[in-house]
């Protein structure tokens, strides 16, 4: 059973292995920069491309970081997200997601939320681990299709936030994780808005929340 991995403290329970950015690498420096600017509390500023940096690299570093954050957030509520509690992958009554990755599963299949999220996170991890897509070595160029891959990853990661907010927010509150979830999601939304990475239609399930987060920050 994948979900009983971290039997230590609840907060360290990750649902999938964390993706590490190699220390000493330029991407690691960028990640440190991102963490430092986040500390300033101004998220709109924190997501902007640092001067002189490569856009692909900035998007790559942040995508890995969001994967790790969502991984951890979902990891705290896996026990509440079960075949029984969530027989379909949904974000409220109006939005239901069916899984397809275009290679192993070509025709979208209807599956439970934990199964869907497992497929999704495994798929994202495979993309992040693919050196031809996410090169970790200095000077190795990003592929031509990098942007479209990154957009697909972020679009799918959004669905995990949407599911957590719609179906498990009460558990998040009980665990006192809501500040953590809100900050992570706000950072994610400001980032995808800054670089126009997710289609508005895709964001519809959390539109009200997105507007609320944005208006507090103007």
Annotated binding residue 26:
no
Which of 207, 211, 199, 94 has the alpha carbon at shortest distance from 156?
199
pLDDT lower than 70: segments of the chain: 1-14, 39-40, 216-218
Map out the domains of the chain as residue ranges. Answer: 26-215
pLDDT of residue 51: 92
Burial 67-103 (b: 16+ CB within 10 A, else e): bbbbbbbbbbbbebbeeeebeebbbeeebebebebee
pLDDT at 38: 74
- Indicate the CATH number for domain 26-215: 1.20.140.30
Q: How far apart are CA 33 and CA 48, in angstroms?
A: 11
pLDDT tens for 152-199 read 999 999 999 999 999 999 999 999 999 999 999 999 999 999 999 999
168 labelled ligand-binding: yes
User: Binding site annotation covers 86?
Assistant: yes
Q: Is 163 annotated as a binding residue?
A: yes
């Amino acid at each position: 059973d994948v979900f009983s991995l971290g039997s230590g403290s609840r907060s360290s329970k990750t649902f999938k292995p964390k993706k590490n950015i190699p220390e000493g690498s330029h991407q690691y420096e960028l990640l440190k920069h991102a963490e430092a600017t986040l500390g300033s509390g101004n998220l709109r500023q924190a997501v902007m491309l640092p001067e002189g940096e490569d856009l692909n690299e900035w998007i790559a570093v942040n995508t890995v970081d969001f994967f790790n954050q969502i991984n951890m957030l979902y990891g705290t509520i896996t026990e509440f997200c079960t075949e029984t509690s969530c027989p379909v992958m949904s974000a409220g009554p109006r939005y239901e997601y069916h899984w397809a990755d275009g290679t192993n599963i070509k025709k979208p299949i209807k599956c439970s939320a934990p199964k869907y999220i497992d497929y999704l996170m495994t798929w994202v991890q495979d993309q992040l681990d693919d050196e031809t897509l996410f090169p970790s070595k200095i000077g190795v160029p990003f592929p031509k299709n990098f942007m479209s891959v990154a957009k697909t990853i972020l679009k799918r990661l959004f669905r995990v936030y949407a599911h957590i907010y719609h179906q498990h927010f009460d558990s998040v509150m009980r665990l006192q994780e809501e500040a953590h979830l809100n900050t992570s999601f706000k950072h994610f939304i400001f980032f995808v808005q800054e670089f126009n990475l997710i289609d508005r239609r895709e964001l519809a399930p959390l539109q009200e929340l997105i507007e609320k987060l944005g208006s507090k920050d103007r």
